Each structure stands twice: as C-alpha cells, then as structure tokens.
C-alpha cells in the first residue's frame, strides 16, 4: 500500500488554488468555478471529479446567496457528467422555490411502452424532435436506443443543440467527440450517442445560435444544413426543454421550423412527466412509457407525445445492443480517494488524448471494483485523482 498523505495533499492544493477566486463578497458564478475546475489536468482533457468536489466544498458560500439556483444547477450538471444521475436529480430539486410536484394522473388501461409507439409514428414523418433535461442522460439514452430503427426508416440527419459548430468538421472526420465538441457532450452517454450516430451513417448537425432571437436563428441554421439543400431529407433533432414547444405563442424552435418549411414536426417531450410526481406510475417496471397529455399536471409545453422516461442507465456504452458484463478490479495500491474511473476506447485514446470516455464513475469510499456493460472491443481504463493525475491504467478487451 502506498502512503496516502502526499497524494491527498496534492489534491487539496489543486482545490485550494481554485478556491482563491472566492475571496470576499458574492462568489463567482458557480458554472465558471466548475468550468475552471474541469480544466485542471492534462491539456485538452476534462476533469470529471474536481468540479464536483469544489462545488460541494463551496456549498455554504452559494446555497443561501443570490446564485443558489445556478449553484444547484451546476451541481446537477456535473453530477450527471460524473456518472451520478440520481445525485443530479437530487441537486436539481434543491433549487430555491422548488416544491414537491403534483403527481401524474393514474394510467388509464395498460401503459404504452414508448419505443414502439414512437417508431410507429416516425415512419411517416419527415422531422422528429426530441427534448431532454440537460442534467439527466436518460433522454439521450432513449434517442440512442432508437437510432438504428430510425436510420432504417430513412432518417439521415441528427441535429444536436449541444454540438459546437467549430468542431463539426473535425468530428465528422474523427467519428467520436473530444472536449472541444461541446459542453453537455462531455457526459458519457451523450458522447456514446454521437459515436452510435456516426457509426450508423448519420450526418451530425450543430445548429445552436446564442443570439438575441435564438429560437428563430436555431431554426434557420437547422434548415440551412438539412432541408434547405435537401428538401426530402429526414431529420432528427435533440434539443433542450422548451425548444420543441409547438405552441405558436411560444415561437420556439419547433414552431419556427414549421413556419420556415411548412413541415409539421413530430415533437416528443421527455421532461415534464419526469418533473411530476410519479403517483401510481412508480409501480411500473423501469422503462419509458407514453403519458397522456391530460395526465401531466401544470403542463407547459405543447407537443405531440409525452414520455415518462425511467430507463435504467448501465455504466458503459450500450444503448440496448448486446454487451458483455465486465468487472474491473482496482488495485489496492493505486486507490487514493477521491478518484474517478475513466474508460476509453483504446483506438480513440491512442489517436487523441482528449477523446471523451465511454464511461465515467466517481469512486465511492471503499469501492475496489466496478461493474461495466460494454460492447465488444479494446478499451483502456484509468484512475485519476482530483488534480487530473493518472494513478493507474490498464488496457483490456471485451469479447
């Protein structure tokens, strides 16, 4: 067993450097604090552990201040990226003004599994829009599980709000995401969604627009890259929250696409049922189900289909395809908590040090092995500490 003190001192020093930004008065925006922490480590890499540690350490500075809402959102975002979706949901509920939501109305008849029902409707549609909670990867997991069938139906474009346009050409060439590909794309399930899409043959589209009229300009970017030059194209879109609102008064992305092209998109909403109380729906097996619009209390978005997404999220890179359960034993002499386990495709790691991992897991106290669900292939696992230093690495194959 190696001595723990030097490594722990190094981690604390790294955290202390970041804390110097919070000297007096109102602390800096918590997203800026976390973004700085995420850059600690090897150049071009993403530190999945330090933002969580630093945000948690600064709780007293934020939770009663003017930035409390941003603080809990930042914690939820980075918890999701660090492979802690349950923690992310908990943090989201801590925002000021949050109250226990009214429950969904009881299902009438047998609940309808979402996947088959969605695919029955997408078959005849040209534009299909999903939304997601940015702090919960289940929405992008459902989209990833449907991609093979949607490709068979003729869809060829996948437009992602989260993509950075500046990396689009490089991403198309590489076929996998790096830190520069986007912000939310650093969450492993999002990275795996991108890989799945490229492997199937989808063309990826970055359409976001941080402008005064964001919704309109997003729609213009989307149309310019797809339906403008290719009027018969079939397009999938994954956007955040209210961008797929079809209400004309909202003038959201979906409504603008309809106005610009004359095409009525099929909109699939995944956030509002998730934010309601489950009521009798909690007794259903884990999965994704269609929810009647009338069953959702205080429904704020006008969409075609509403989904309650309670899909289990395996630690790995599968979207429902065959995998091999893999258990990684972590050597005791390399365990110096706090640490994070990163699993990469070996070919990506060798080609690009900044390649995003396919799985991320922040180690719990006393944890000496981790169970993964991986598709066959060659991988590299590594342990990194809070300062981004590699403590252990192992190449392994899944057959």
pTM: 0.92
Instruction: Please give the torsion angle defined by the CA atoms of residues 170, 176, 180 and 185, in that order, rounded to the nearest 10 degrees.
Output: 140
The whole-number pLDDT of residue 327 equals 96
DSSP conformational letter for 207: -
Please tell me the distance from the alpha carbon of residue 213 to that of residue 332, in angstroms, as a whole number. 54
Whole-angstrom CA distances from 130 to 227, 235, 242, 257 are 18, 11, 10, 14
Whole-angstrom CA distances from 323 to 271, 320, 330, 373, 399 are 28, 8, 21, 6, 9
Residues pairing with 205 in the sheet: 159
CATH code of the domain occupying 112-309: 3.40.50.11550
In angstroms, the first-to-last Cα distance of the chain is 32
Please tell me the distance from the alpha carbon of residue 47 to that of residue 38, in angstroms, as a whole number. 4
Please give the average pLDDT of every successive group of 10 residues along the chain, which has 399 residues. 34 44 70 97 95 96 90 97 94 90 90 97 98 95 98 98 94 95 97 97 97 98 98 98 94 97 98 92 95 92 97 92 92 96 97 95 96 96 98 97
Please tell me the distance from the alpha carbon of residue 237 to that of residue 255, in angstroms, as a whole number. 13
CATH code of the domain occupying 324-398: 2.60.40
């Amino acid at each position: 067993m190696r001595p723990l003190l030097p490594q722990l001192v190094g981690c604390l020093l790294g955290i202390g450097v970041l804390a110097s930004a919070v000297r007096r008065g109102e602390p800096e925006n918590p997203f800026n604090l976390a973004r700085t922490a995420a850059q600690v480590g090897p150049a071009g890499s993403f530190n999945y552990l330090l933002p969580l540690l630093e945000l948690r350490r600064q709780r007293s500075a934020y939770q009663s201040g003017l930035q409390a809402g941003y603080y809990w959102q930042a914690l939820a975002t980075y918890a999701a990226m660090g492979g802690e979706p349950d923690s992310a949901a908990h943090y989201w509920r801590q925002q000021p003004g949050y109250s226990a939501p009214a429950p969904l109305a009881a299902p009438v008849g047998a609940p309808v599994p979402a996947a088959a029902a969605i695919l029955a409707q997408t078959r005849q549609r040209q534009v299909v829009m999903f939304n997601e909670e940015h702090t919960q990867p289940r929405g992008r997991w459902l989209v990833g599980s449907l991609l093979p069938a949607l490709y068979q139906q003729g869809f060829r474009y996948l437009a992602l709000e989260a993509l950075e346009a500046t990396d689009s050409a490089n991403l198309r060439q590489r076929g996998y995401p790096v830190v520069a590909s986007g912000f939310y794309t650093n969450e492993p399930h999002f990275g795996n969604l991108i890989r799945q899409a490229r492997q199937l043959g989808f063309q990826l589209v970055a359409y976001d627009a941080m402008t005064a009229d964001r919704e309109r300009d997003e729609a213009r970017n989307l149309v310019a890259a797809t339906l403008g030059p290719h009027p018969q194209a079939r397009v999938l879109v994954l956007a955040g929250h209210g961008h797929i609102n079809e209400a004309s008064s909202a003038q959201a992305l979906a409504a603008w696409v309809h106005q610009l092209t004359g095409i009525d998109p099929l909109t699939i909403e995944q956030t509002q049922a998730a934010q309601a109380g489950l009521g009798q729906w909690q007794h259903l097996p884990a999965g994704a189900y269609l929810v009647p619009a009338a069953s959702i209390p205080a429904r704020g978005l006008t969409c075609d289909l509403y989904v309650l997404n309670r899909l289990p999220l395996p630690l790995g890179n599968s979207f429902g395809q065959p995998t091999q359960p893999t258990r990684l034993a972590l050597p005791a002499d390399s365990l110096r908590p706090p640490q994070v386990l990163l699993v990469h495709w070996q070919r990506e790691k060798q080609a690009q040090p900044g390649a995003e991992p396919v799985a991320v897991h922040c180690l719990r106290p006393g944890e000496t092995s981790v169970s993964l669900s991986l598709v066959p292939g060659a991988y590299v696992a590594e342990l990194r500490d809070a300062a981004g230093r590699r403590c252990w690495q192992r190449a392994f194959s899944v057959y």
